[in-house]
Each structure stands twice: as C-alpha cells, then as structure tokens.
Amino acid sequence: MIILGVESTCDETAIAVVEDGRKVLSNVVASSSAMHEKYGGIVPEVAAREQIRCIIPTIAEAILDSGVVSRDFDAIAVAYGPGLIGSLLIGVETAKSLALAWDKPLIGVNHLVGHLYANWIRQESKSRRAKEPEIKFPAIGLVVSGGHTDLVCMESHDKITFIGGTLDDAAGEVLDKVGRILGLGYPGGPAIEREANKFQYQIPNIQCHATLKGLTIPVPMVGNTSFNFSFSGLKTAVANKIQFEKGDVDVSRICYELQERIFQSLIKKTNSAVQKYGAKSVVIGGGVSANESLRNMMSAAVQENGVDIYFPQKQYSTDNGAMIAAAAFFHQNYKEVTKLQADPSLYFS
C-alpha cells in the first residue's frame, strides 16, 4: 500500500511517500524555521505563508523522488491536528484537493500519533534482509516535542490511551525559551544540546550532575505519583539563575543542567508507566527525541528493566511526512473528503 503523507502542522512543509507503513520511498522537508530565528520563536502568520509557498513544490519533489506515478497511490494521508490553524489549513485543504483530483481515499492522522509511528519506519542503514524488530504491545509511548510532552499506553494499534502530560510548558518549548534567553537562537533544543556537550566533555566519566557543586535547578514533579509533567518552574529557575549570575553565566553548564533535569523527569515518569502498565516496549517520538543524551539516558534506564526501547532515526524525530504516512497505514482512519477539517486542538482520545 503506497501512501502520500502530508505534514504541515507548524513550520515544516513535509511530504513523503511510504510503502506499507515502513519503507520510505521519498521524504522531503521544507522548513521555515530560519525565518523565525530573528523573533526567537514561531510567528504563525509567517509559518502559514511559507506553507502556501512550499506545499506544491514539496509535493512535486516528493512524488518525483519516489518514482511513483499518481495512479499508483493507494491513499493520501494528512496530519489534521494539533497545530497552528493557518499552517494546518494549507496541508489539509491541499490533501483534500489531491484526493478529489486523483480520486483516492483520504486518511486523517493525529500529528502526535504520527510522532510515535516514526518508530515503525524501517531503518535505512539495515541490510534489506535484516529482520525488523517487532515493537511489542503493551507499549508506553512518549511524545516530546516543541508543543507536547505526553505519555500514552498503547495496548494495540487501535487502543492508544492518554495517561499523562505536561501541565504547563512542553519540554521542547522550555529548551526553545531558555535558548532564546541565552541568545542561542531558534530552535533552542539542538543549540542547547551542543552547549551541554561542551560541558560534558570537560568532565570525564560524569555520572550525574548532582555530584557537581552549586546546582540549584530542581527535577520537577518527581515526588508526584501521576504521569504528569511540569516544566515551567524549571524555565523560571533557569531564567532566575541567568539573571542572578549576570555577565558571568556559564552557558554550557546551564544547558547541561537543564537537559539533565528535563530528561530525569521524563525518565522517571516513563519508567513508572512501564511498571504500572507492564509494558514490553517504550517508543519515543517528537523533536526532542533527536537528542543524543536523552537517547542514552533513557535507553539505559528502560533497558535496565528488560524492556525494549525505540527511537526514530533522527530525520524522523522532528516533523516529517513519513511518520504521517506510516501512522496512516496502521490506522486506516478514512475520512470523507469534504468532511475532514483541520483541528488545532486535536488530542489523544
């Protein structure tokens, strides 16, 4: 089954062609993130305008790259929420037009579910004959992106239940905001990772920053038994620390501490969810899952309990069309073309 995946929920116009939910035939991403850099965050109007400019050329490029002709597509899939309404409308209405023009079925995909299904995409580096690992259910899914930090229990492809999420800022949002305060540009996540690595390399065999002197940033919500997160206090603590230290800010150390604290909170809640739901696997998705320290720390903690853990290949951690086509294959949630509407506040059901 060949599906064209359309992703336009935020500042990426991303189109991919995927066969049977796993094999990526093409994957093209046009990002307007550089245009938002000078504002230190996404400007919705600018993002929407860029979506209009990029969507047709990006679709054309993805189709050409895939070598698939229009009559051979089995369906068009589109992320219809959550996201910015202006950006969403461009992808949703374009996907509807294509479905009508080509007379193909239309599949609506929840962007958050898409992030988790990036883990079902076949590893490109693997030899063709290598057997794909089968992600076993029940699985705990963690979406860590710029807009969301959510934990779900996946009993099967058809039963995904929300079990907890951030009560305020998302993990990526805090990285972006602290990145802006520190003058590291947008998006903050990759810049903070680079700075944190500089600090880490200065200290060989560092285990945990709690062993360092003078740390003031707390791990949020660890004493709480719910599966919820809260990161806005952490952001304030870092902002205060920066203000307090005035010109004498150790940027790489602050970045390292911030990452550690956010990741410790994610690990604690994910591991508790694994225990409670008897999970056999953990799947992580969303832009923050591209972070190498998170990958290492989370893998060590989850595998210690004999549970399998999966991260997407890095190009499928951040927003992309392949994850939308992959999720559509496993959830053939067909929509009547004229009825599908962009839904900025779509969530896990």
- Tell the smallest beta-carbon distance from residue 139 to ligand KG4 (Å): 19
| Binding partner of 175, given ligand KG4, Zn ion, none, CB within 5-8 angstroms per partner class | ligand KG4
CB nearer to ligand KG4: give 106 or 150: 150
Per the document, the length of the chain is 349
CB nearer to Zn ion: give 119 or 145: 145
User: In the sheet that 334-335 helps form, which strands lie side by side, from edge to edge?
Assistant: 23-31, 12-19, 2-7, 75-81, 106-110, 334-335
Residue 283 in contact with residue 310, Cβ under 8 Å?
A: yes
d(CA 78, CA 328): 8
- Tell the smallest beta-carbon distance from residue 42 to Zn ion (Å): 12
How many positions of this chain bind Zn ion (CB under 5 A)? 2
Q: Is 207 exposed, middle or buried (0-12, 13-18, 19+ CB in 10 A)?
A: exposed
CB nearer to Zn ion: give 50 or 319: 319
Where in 311-340 is the site for Zn ion (CB under 5 A)?
319
| Binding partner of 86, given ligand KG4, Zn ion, none, CB within 5-8 angstroms per partner class | none
| Binding partner of 291, given ligand KG4, Zn ion, none, CB within 5-8 angstroms per partner class | ligand KG4
Q: Cα-flanking dihedrals φ and ψ of residue 164, to 5°?
A: 180, 160
- Tell the smallest beta-carbon distance from residue 83 to ligand KG4 (Å): 8
- Tell the smallest beta-carbon distance from residue 277 to ligand KG4 (Å): 24
CB nearer to Zn ion: give 66 or 110: 110
d(CA 77, CA 95): 7
- Tell the smallest beta-carbon distance from residue 208 to Zn ion (Å): 29
- Tell the smallest beta-carbon distance from residue 157 to ligand KG4 (Å): 21
CB nearer to ligand KG4: give 146 or 165: 146
CB nearer to Zn ion: give 307 or 323: 323
Q: In angstroms, how far is the first alpha carbon of the chain from the final one?
A: 26
Q: Is 262 exposed, middle or buried (0-12, 13-18, 19+ CB in 10 A)?
A: buried
145 binds Zn ion (CB under 5 A): yes
Name the residues that contact ligand KG4, by CB under 6 A.
10, 145-147, 172, 175-176, 187-190, 193, 286-288, 290-291, 318-319
Residue 76 in contact with residue 328, Cβ under 8 Å?
A: no
DSSP string of 167-223, one letter each residue:
SS--HHHHHHHHHHHTT--SSHHHHHHHHHHHHHHHSTT---GGGSTT--PPPTTTT
